[in-house]
């Protein structure tokens, strides 16, 4: 029985030519070390940071309007291309990383412990190019609308602090504001308005939250690294504990 001959239709790439083309593509990838370019990042769909499968990324806290990730990136390790919303970054340790974005490659930046900076939403990848672990928190704005959150009252950044209370604005733009607060035992913040916020405990402390309508006091204790959130509105806080309370307030304007 005669074996039928395979028909080669016009426009079909024959196997030897296909193998040659694949080989050329592989060699081209090896020539540049296999690294993806900014154009690659722009053309490929990126995974949301919250869905990224990485041993270096942990979701610590979720509020309706924001999500907090902790990144622990060993020297030389990388987090692949991912997408996120507007985000505030807090340096838990000092570190140096290289950021590759859709419009820039190889932009290296160094941060010291306690530094705060802001990224607009978009796509980027991160490589730890320093000599030590890079640990930082990402306070990422989610897609949920904040609505009308304009403070109805005086805000902390416009107020004088009473004895035993200190306040510092670490970052502010049209999308977010970050405060660092220190309250000595027995000290309090004056009644103040604010945006929806996530609070990060820098020390162990106990606070009383005072309802300005009823004067009711609600006490809560926190340990270093604890997170909680507040909606917009008026607010008063007093240190009810025996140790200074230090915490970071990351508030989103829109």
Q: pLDDT (tens digit, 9 = 90+) per residue, 222-231?
A: 999 999 998 8
Break the chain into its structural domains and give their ranges: 38-141, 156-252
Q: Which fold has domain 156-252?
A: Jelly Rolls (2.60.120)
Least confident of 10-14, 135-139, 250-254: 10-14
pLDDT of residue 103: 66
Band (pLDDT 50/70/90 cuts) for residue 37 is very low
Measured between alpha carbons, how far is 181 from 160 in angstroms, rounded to an integer?
13
Average pLDDT of every residue of the chain = 83
pLDDT of residue 53: 87
pLDDT of residue 215: 82
Extended strands (E) in the chain:
47-48, 57-62, 66-73, 78-84, 87-91, 95-101, 104-111, 116-119, 122-128, 134-141, 165-172, 176-183, 188-194, 197-201, 205-210, 217-222, 227-230, 233-239, 245-252
pLDDT of residue 51: 87
- With tokens 């028909």, the residue in question is 7
**Predicted confidence (pLDDT) per residue in 92-135, tens digit:** 999 999 988 766 667 899 999 999 999 998 888 999 999 999 99
The architecture of the domain spanning 38-141 is Sandwich (2.60)
**Predicted confidence (pLDDT) per residue in 149-197, tens digit:** 888 889 988 999 999 999 999 999 999 999 999 999 999 999 999 999 9
Band (pLDDT 50/70/90 cuts) for residue 147 is confident
pLDDT of residue 235: 82
Contact (Cβ atoms closer than 8 angstroms) between residue 238 and residue 208: yes
> Do 38-141 and 156-252 have matching folds?
yes
The answer to whether the pTM exceeds 0.85 is no
């Amino acid at each position: 029985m005669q074996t039928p001959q395979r028909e080669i239709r016009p426009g079909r790439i024959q196997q030897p030519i296909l193998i040659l083309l694949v080989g050329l593509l592989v060699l081209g990838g090896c020539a540049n070390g296999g690294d993806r370019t900014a154009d690659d990042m722009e053309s490929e769909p990126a995974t949301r940071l919250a869905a990224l499968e990485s041993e270096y990324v942990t979701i610590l806290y979720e509020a309706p309007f924001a999500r907090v990730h902790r990144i622990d990136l060993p020297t030389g390790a990388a987090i692949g291309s991912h997408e996120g919303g507007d985000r505030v970054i807090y340096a838990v340790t000092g570190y140096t990383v290289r950021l590759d974005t859709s419009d820039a490659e190889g932009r290296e930046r160094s941060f010291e412990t306690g530094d705060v900076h802001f990224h607009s939403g978009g796509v980027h990848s991160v490589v730890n190019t320093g000599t030590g672990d890079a640990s930082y928190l990402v306070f990422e704005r989610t897609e949920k609308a904040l609505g009308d959150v304009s403070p109805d009252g005086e805000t902390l950044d416009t107020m004088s602090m009473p004895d035993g209370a200190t306040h510092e604005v670490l970052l502010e733009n049209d999308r977010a504001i970050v405060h660092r607060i220190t309250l000595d035992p027995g000290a309090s913040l004056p009644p103040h308005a604010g945006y929806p916020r996530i609070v990060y405990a820098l020390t162990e402390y106990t606070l009383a939250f005072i309802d300005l309508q009823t004067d009711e006091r609600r006490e809560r204790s926190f340990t270093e690294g604890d997170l909680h959130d507040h909606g917009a509105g008026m607010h008063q806080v007093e240190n009810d504990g025996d140790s200074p309370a230090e915490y970071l307030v990351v508030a989103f304007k829109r």
